Amino acid sequence: AEADDQLIIDAGQKQFGATTCGSCGMIYSADSLEDNFQHTQFHKRFLDSIKFVGWKKERVVADFWDGKIILVLPDDPKYAVRKAEDVRQLADNELGFQQVSLSCPSQAKTYLFVNSDRMVVGCLIAEHIRQGFRVLEQPEQTKDMTKEDFMEHHRVWCCSTTPEKAICGVSRIWVFSLARRKGIGTRMLDTVRNSFMYGGHLTKEEIAFSDPTPDGKLFATKYCET
Ligand code: ACO
Ligand code: ZN
């Protein structure tokens, strides 16, 4: 029976035609000319953007067996700032952010996770803030909730309504789809806490996430409770 089920699943996938590119991570229908065209375009741009050739001066703020984290500051050489911007744009596209500007670009610190294949597979942008809204844990969903109740719950769930003192705001965190759940996001945040303030260490409470996505909420909730 297991073999039969497998056959059915395979047939279903073939009909649907969804393929995930092993290099750029794009999911597309290989049967569609249009999709193939879009993939070819995305593929090249994506790999160009995350390619990391290495710089004369790299501000390495963390070293791991599978990569390193480089900090890019607004006054760094053009090539460094441009790479940070290229990767941020990839992340923004995926997050659906429309506006290209940061709240205060001259203050933003960009952390790039470069893997051993010399690809930027993670990006985190941190900014100084005075207050933030803490990400709260998801409450148990009650069965007979009205839609309004749910929406209210949902809204309250993503962020507490009372502003709390925070020092570091994470306005973007992104990890390449094929490199997720390997602790890259966690390691980038740990590194921010150790290096954001000169000579100081930030607690988890001093970090705030702005407008987290569903992925971001799950990640932030897990990160804050551990
Ligand atoms: N679903 C459930 N739990 C998750 C998820 C998820 N999608 N992502 C992370 N977690 C939890 C898990 O408990 C995980 O531990 P585990 O893998 O041992 O179970 C823990 O968080 C740590 O995960 P990491 O591996 O450190 O996180 P990762 O490197 O995968 O990065 C991130 C997480 C950045 C959210 C990634 O999924 C991503 O880039 N998503 C798309 C972009 C996005 O939505 N970014 C957040 C936007 S919000 C903002 O920028 C302020
Ligand atoms: Zn591809």
9 Cβ closer than 6 Å to some ligand 1 atom: no
Q: Which residue has the higher pLDDT, 149 or 118?
A: 118
- Is residue 79 very low, low, confident or very high in pLDDT (cuts 50, 70, 90)? very high
Q: What is the C-alpha to C-alpha distance for residues 86 and 70, in angstroms, rounded to an integer?
A: 15
Check pocket membership of 222 for ligand 1, CB cut-off 6 A: yes
Residue 224 CB–ligand 1 contact under 6 Å? no
Q: Which ligand is nearest to the CA of 40?
A: 2
The answer, yes or no, to whether any atom of ligand 1 lies below 6 A from the CB of 212, is yes
Q: How far apart are the first and last CA of the chain?
A: 42
Task: Return the number of other C-beta atoms located less than 10 Å from residue 18's C-beta.
Answer: 13
Q: State pLDDT tens for residues 20-34.
A: 999 999 999 988 999
pLDDT at 155: 42
Distance 217 CA to ligand 1 centre (A): 8
Q: For residues 54 and 133, what is the distance between their CA atoms, to the nearest angstrom?
A: 37
Greatest mean pLDDT range, 67-76, 140-149, 165-174: 67-76
